[in-house]
Amino acid sequence: MIADDHKLFSDGLKMILSADHSIEIVAQIHHSKDILSAIQQYIPHLVILDFNMPHFSGLEIMKLLSENTILVNVLVLSSYADEQQIDKFRQFGAKGYFHKTVESAELIEAIKRIYRGETWIVQKSIKVEGVEEDSFMKMFKLTNREMKIIQLIKHGKSSADIANDLFLSNHTVNTHKRNIYLKLSINNERELLKFIKDNGM
């Protein structure tokens, strides 16, 4: 299902996606107020959701889906590439985030990967994993990847969740965690959470 208030863009997207015979567009929704009822009516495998719609924004739609326990895969299309916004959509359960300039082949591949069960996909040209190096990182010789894992742990992510989010194996995530504990002179995740709190991270 395509949910976008720009009819010309929605029609163009439908035409591009329909060219792949494994994809069927069951509905095009142009008004955000109609999205929830349309999802319940058509029961799509995936909703391609516009970031910026009138009345309800994309984030507000994600909140409403959560509040109404409506389970559906959502891939966000946006004109913005702000990392904070991307993280918010991920926290509310979106399965992917793409800029509206995305190549059609990459978008189609993402749709198929989400259908196969992948949990989080971001357009290749959007940088979301980089964490700016600061004095804290320098002091403890932490890498960007280790800082990202620390932030995910702070937000309650398990090792399995982190592995899915960062496309890593559980073994690799646990290796990173051991390195973090060593660098911070701590022994476990409980001590890491206390370290995060004590240092205002």
Residue 73, pLDDT > 60, answer yes
Summarize pLDDT for 16-47 with one digit per residue, the tens. Answer: 999 999 999 999 999 999 999 999 999 999 99
Residue 82, pLDDT > 80, answer no
Q: Please state the three-class secondary structure of 135-159 as a single string.
A: HHHHHHCCCHHHHHHHHHHHCCCCH
Amino acid at 192: L
Report the Cα 155 to chain-centroid distance in Å. Answer: 14
Residue 134, pLDDT > 70, answer no
Residue 109, pLDDT > 90, answer yes
Give the integer Cα–Cα distance in Å for 94 and 92: 6
pLDDT confidence bin for 127, thresholds 50/70/90: low
Predicted pLDDT of residue 45? 96
* Residue found under tokens 């979106």: 94
Q: Which residues contact 2 (CB under 8 A, 6 or more apart)?
A: 10, 13, 14, 25, 27, 28, 29, 47, 48
- Which of 5, 103, 23 minimizes the C-alpha distance to 14? 23
- Which of 41, 50, 42 minimizes the C-alpha distance to 24? 42
